[in-house]
C-alpha cells in the first residue's frame, strides 16, 4: 500500500494559508492525488478481500528435498486455499507420514486433507515392487498422529475439479502417476482445472543448465506411460521444466538464516534437508525445482512462458514439435535471485505453529 507519509503530501501540509494562485492549483492537485491514493487503497483492500485461489498440490514429498520447500511456500502464502496435499509415486504412505508430521507440527492436520495416491515402483515399467524409503522418511518414523483422507488421489482430484470447475489450480511436481489414474477414470476432469501447472520436462537444457543437452527429466522418466497420458489429456498445462528450475538453488547463507529462525516450519525444512544430504546425489546447495511452479503463480513477473507442442517419447524425452498446434505452455526464463529472495521472506516472516492447548 502507498505510504501515508508521501513526500509530496508532506510538502503540501507545510504550505502557508495565504497561498498564491499557483499554490491553490497545487492544492487542488494534492486533493486529486489524495483521491487517487484513496482509490488505490480501495483497490488494495478489494484485492485483499478477493477469494483465495483454490489449489491442489500433487507431489512426491520426501523424495528430492525441493517438494517440502514448495509445500512450505504454499502454506505460508495467504493467497492460497489448499484443498488437499496429494502424495504421488513410490511409497506414498511413507511420504504421507512425513506430510502428516509436518501438518501436525504446524497445527494444520484438521485443516488440509492429506491424500494418498497409488504406490508404485521407483521406475514404473522397469522396477518391480514398491520403491523403498528415502532418508527423509526417517523424519516420519514412529509418528502416528496423522490420518489420511478417506478418498484415493484420483477420486479426490476428480471430485474437486468437478465441484469447482475452472476454479482450481492443480499443481503436479512429481511423477504423474495420479494424473494417469485421473485421465483413465474421467478423461474430461483435468480440463476442468483453472490451470494445471507442473514441474515436468526438459526442453532446451538438461540438469546441468544452459549449454547442456535436454535429457529425460525425473518426473517423466519415473513413469513414462503416465507422462504420455498426462500430456495427451488435453489439459493445456504449464510445464516448468529444467529450463526454468535447475538453476534455482538455495545457498548456504539462506540455509543458515532458516536454521537461526528456529520455528516449527523452518526446523522441518532444516531437518529434512540434512536427512536428504545422505542421498548419493545430494549436493550442498539444493535445487528448488518444485518451488518454481508455485512461485510463478504468486509472482508472474518472475517467469516467462510460451505456447509449445510437447511430445513425450518412449525414452522419456520431452520433445518440442515446432509448428504443431500448442498443447501446453513451457517455462522459458526465470528470475532466480529475486525468486529465492521472495520465498525466503515467506519462510522467515511466517509464524505457523500448533495452537497451545486450552
Give contact residues for Ca ion (rule: CB under 5 A).
60, 67, 173-174, 290
Name the residue nearer to Ca ion (CB basis): 222 or 317. Answer: 222
Name the residue nearer to Ca ion (CB basis): 60 or 105. Answer: 60
Q: Tell me the DSSP string of 49-67.
A: HSPPEEEEEEE-TTSSSHH
Name the residue nearer to Ca ion (CB basis): 290 or 329. Answer: 290
CB of 2 to Ca ion, least distance (A): 39
Q: Which residues contact 171 (CB under 8 A, 6 or more apart)?
A: 55, 56, 57, 58, 59, 70, 196, 197, 198, 293, 294
CB of 44 to Ca ion, least distance (A): 34
Q: Tell me the DSSP string of 165-181.
A: TTTEEEEE-S--HHHHH
The dihedral through the CA atoms of 72, 73, 78, 79 has a sign that is negative
Q: How far is CA 287 from the centre of its chain?
A: 14
Name the residue nearer to Ca ion (CB basis): 67 or 186. Answer: 67
Name the residue nearer to Ca ion (CB basis): 72 or 192. Answer: 72
Cell of 314: 518412449
Name the residue nearer to Ca ion (CB basis): 86 or 235. Answer: 86
Identify the CA nearest to 81 among candidates 43, 104, 55, 61.
55
Q: Which residues contact 144 (CB under 8 A, 6 or more apart)?
A: none
CB of 357 to Ca ion, least distance (A): 35
CB of 34 to Ca ion, least distance (A): 49
Q: How far apart are CA 160 and CA 152, in angstroms?
A: 12
What values do phi and psi take at 305, rounded to 5? -135, 165
CB of 173 to Ca ion, least distance (A): 4
CB of 66 to Ca ion, least distance (A): 6
Cell of 275: 536427512
Name the residue nearer to Ca ion (CB basis): 86 or 258. Answer: 86
CB of 197 to Ca ion, least distance (A): 13
Cell of 39: 482509490
Amino acid at each position: 500500500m502507498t505510504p501515508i507519509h508521501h513526500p509530496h503530501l508532506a510538502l503540501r501540509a507545510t504550505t502557508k494559508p495565504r497561498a498564491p494562485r499557483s499554490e491553490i492549483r497545487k492544492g487542488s492537485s494534492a486533493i486529486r492525488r489524495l483521491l487517487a491514493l484513496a482509490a488505490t487503497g480501495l483497490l488494495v483492500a478489494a484485492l485483499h478481500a478477493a477469494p483465495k485461489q483454490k489449489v491442489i498440490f500433487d507431489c512426491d514429498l520426501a523424495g528430492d528435498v525441493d517438494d517440502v520447500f514448495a509445500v512450505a511456500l504454499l502454506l505460508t502464502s495467504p493467497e492460497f486455499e489448499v484443498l488437499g496435499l496429494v502424495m504421488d509415486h513410490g511409497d506414498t504412505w511413507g511420504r504421507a507420514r512425513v506430510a502428516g508430521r509436518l501438518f501436525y507440527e504446524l497445527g494444520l492436520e484438521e485443516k488440509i486433507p492429506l491424500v494418498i495416491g497409488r504406490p508404485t515402483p521407483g521406475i514404473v515399467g522397469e522396477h518391480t515392487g514398491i520403491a523403498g524409503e528415502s532418508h527423509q522418511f526417517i523424519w516420519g518414523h514412529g509418528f502416528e498422529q496423522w490420518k489420511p483422507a478417506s478418498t484415493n488421489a484420483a477420486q479426490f482430484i476428480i471430485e474437486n475439479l468437478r465441484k469447482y470447475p475452472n476454479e482450481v489450480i492443480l499443481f503436479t511436481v512429481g511423477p504423474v502417476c495420479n494424473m494417469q489414474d485421473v485421465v483413465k477414470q474421467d478423461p474430461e476432469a483435468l480440463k476442468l482445472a483453472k490451470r494445471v501447472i507442473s514441474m515436468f520436462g526438459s526442453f532446451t537444457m538438461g540438469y546441468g543448465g544452459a549449454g547442456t543437452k535436454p535429457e529425460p527429466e525425473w518426473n517423466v522418466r519415473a513413469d513414462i506411460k503416465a507422462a504420455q497420458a498426462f500430456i495427451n489429456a488435453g489439459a493445456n498445462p504449464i510445464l516448468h521444466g529444467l529450463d526454468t528450475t535447475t538453476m534455482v538453488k538455495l545457498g548456504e547463507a539462506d540455509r543458515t538464516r532458516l536454521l537461526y529462525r528456529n520455528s516449527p516450519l523452518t526446523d522441518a525444512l532444516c531437518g529434512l534437508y540434512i536427512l536428504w544430504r545422505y542421498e548419493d546425489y545430494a549436493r550442498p546447495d539444493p535445487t528448488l525445482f518444485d518451488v518454481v511452479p508455485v512461485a510463478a503463480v504468486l509472482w508472474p513477473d518472475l517467469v516467462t512462458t510460451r505456447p509449445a507442442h510437447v511430445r513425450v517419447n518412449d525414452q522419456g524425452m520431452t520433445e518440442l514439435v515446432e509448428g504443431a498446434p500448442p498443447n501446453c505452455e513451457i517455462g522459458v526464463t526465470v528470475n532466480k535471485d529475486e525468486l529465492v529472495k521472495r520465498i525466503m521472506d515467506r519462510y522467515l516472516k511466517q509464524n505457523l505453529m500448533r495452537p497451545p492447548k486450552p
